[in-house]
Structure 1
Amino acid sequence: GFVVVNKPAGVPVLPMTWAERGCVLNAVVARFPEAAQAGHDRLEGGSVHRLDTPTSGALVYALDKQTYNDFREAFRNSRVTKLYLAVVHGHFTGERLQKIYLKTIAHRPAYVE
């Protein structure tokens, strides 16, 4: 199984050390202890993907190893579609809907621009 949680902006997804508190994974494991063992790394638990600390949004946590592996394979094989929505303030001229596609940076494959 899995759970989807709403991550608030300013809260890290994962702890940097065992002693760190106040991240989303801690909250998920407190409610769903099985999530701690679902992934390949105990510091990541069943975290299927991440969001930057300043970013808010939906996070998927696997509750068992099979679900974790299935989700990771889906992300790896581009079977997951991510939609990002920006809330802005001020006056906007021009088109109301802007589509800007991210591209992978060749020499830094873990990053997009």
Structure 2
Amino acid sequence: MIDLALPENKESKIKAEAIPLDIIYEDEYLVVVNKPADMIVHPAGKIRSGTLVNALLYHCQDSLSGIGGVIRPGIVHRLDKNTSGLMVAAKNDFAHLDLSRQIKDHQVTKKYIALVHGNLKDDSGIIDAQIGRSLKNRKKMA
């Protein structure tokens, strides 16, 4: 017997917005979206609209996980505002818990491809280092 206690869903105070989404994959458990650069993932501070969460609330209607709370429904991970790439959102609490566990247990691999302007010593390469907050601008990651 498996006993699973899920947190109570909280009603979202964030408004659904008809923002176009580039959906790569979707089923009853999750949705994978190609997030464009300059789109904020979830509302924060004074930003309450134009985010991926606003778009997902419109697209998924009532089928987003409530585990992320009222500000981050369905959000399992994030990408910085200036970063484009695939985002996975959970459509129910079971999927949210399982996806979170997979990320925590390093069963999910994140890969970043950077476009660089300027002259480089090599044509290509691999940077195998942690990403951290920029020392020059705390709002940016480097």
TM over 0.5: yes
Q: Secondary structure at the match of 2:69?
A: coil
Alignment of 1:98 with 2:125, yes or no, is yes
Q: Considering only aligned residues, what root-mean-square deviation do their CA atoms show, in Å?
A: 2.4
Q: CA deviation at 1:104?
A: 7.3
Aligned ranges 1:1-113 → 2 under 5 Å: 1-16=29-44, 20-33=48-61, 34-35=63-64, 37-94=65-122, 96-103=123-130
Q: CA deviation at 1:17?
A: 6.0
- Runs of 4+ deviating beyond 2 Å: 37-40, 88-94, 102-105
Q: Secondary structure at the match of 1:6?
A: strand
Which amino acid letter does the alignment assign opposite residue 9 of structure 1?
A
1:39-64: CA deviations, max 9, x gaps? 24121101110011111111000000
Q: Which is richer in strand? A: 1
| Fraction of identical pairs, as percent | 31
Q: Secondary structure at the match of 2:77?
A: coil
- List alignment gaps of at least 5 residues for structure 2: 1-28, 133-140
Q: Which is richer in helix? A: 1
Q: Structure 1 residues 27 and 85, CA, compared in 2 at 3 Å: closer, same or farther?
A: same
- List alignment gaps of at least 5 residues for structure 1: 106-111
